[in-house]
A = this chain, B = another copy of it.
Amino acid sequence: MTVQDSTTLLDGVLVRLRAMIADGELAAGAPVREREMCELLSVSRTPLREALKVLAAERLLELRPNRGAIVLGLTERDVRDMFEVMEALEATAGRLACERASDADIAEIQALHWQMHAHYLRAELEPYFRLNQAIHARIVDATGNAVLQSNYAALAARIRNARYLANRWSRERWDEAMREHGLILDALIARDGARLSEILAGHLRGKGAAVLEHLQAPIPAEAGTRSAAAA
């Protein structure tokens, strides 16, 4: 699939660049040169430049005037801040989802849960994570709140681009997370909003703590000052 398949070149470039960042193809700190990227994507500078501006507004890139763009990494502070906000969003999502989710929504989340559980048993990290993210996203979606959804998705995308976070889970943490997911499912099925909200918040705190712990030693190429480009 090339960039040209989209309705507009800009859209295609956006999709492609976001994927490249999320997949680590463009690592944190990597410079993004206009002409170079133009050749790679086979588009002219105009749509590419427009895409860079949008991605900068999403805090995925940093634009340094006259000096090009670089992929924004996450500082420890960023991760901490983001988990705090995600905790707030998911807690609210849990409460609302219990009120508003359709039975079909819950059934689907349940199905995802057991799929994930199977991967957990087989210690298949990659698909486990994919389903994990899907479950959390589905809970948020089940609130029917589009604003909540998009804010959550934006944060999730930014965190995902720090791929190294996913490595080196301790077995204990994994077991604990899986246990928590069991409680999450129970609360959702019981439509106990207060309980689900609390569990999700605790789950996020645990996740955040684990991530931050593993963020101490392996400090990857870190770059990017906090200068607000266009937010």
Contacts and interface: CB of A to CB of B under 8 A. Distances in A.
Interface of A: 7-8, 10-11, 14, 46, 49-51, 53-54, 57-59, 65, 77-78, 81-82, 84-85, 87-89, 91-92, 96, 145-148, 150-151, 153-155, 226, 228, 230-231
Contacts of A89: 85, 88
Given A8-B65, A50-B49, A92 B82 contact: no
B81 A87 contact: no
Contact of A146 (B58, B147, B155, B226): B226
A146 B82 CA distance: 9
A127 B168 CA distance: 53
Copy number of this protein in the oligomer? 2
A81 B145 contact: yes
**Secondary structure dominating the interface of A:** helix
Contact of A87 (B58, B92, B226): B92
Contacts of A88: 88-89, 91-92, 148
Contacts of A226: 146
A178 B91 CA distance: 28
Contacts of A78: 146-147
Given A11-B230, A231-B150, A84 B96 contact: yes
A7 B65 CA distance: 8
A10 to B, nearest CB: 7
Contact of A147 (B46, B53, B82, B147): B82
Contacts of A57: 54, 57-58
Contacts of A50: 49-50, 53
Interface centre among A11, A88, A146, A226 (most CB of B within 10 A): A88
Given A84-B147, A88-B88, A147-B155, 17 more contacts: A8-B65, A10-B53, A10-B230, A46-B46, A50-B50, A50-B53, A53-B53, A54-B230, A57-B58, A78-B146, A81-B147, A82-B147, A84-B96, A85-B89, A85-B145, A85-B147, A85-B148
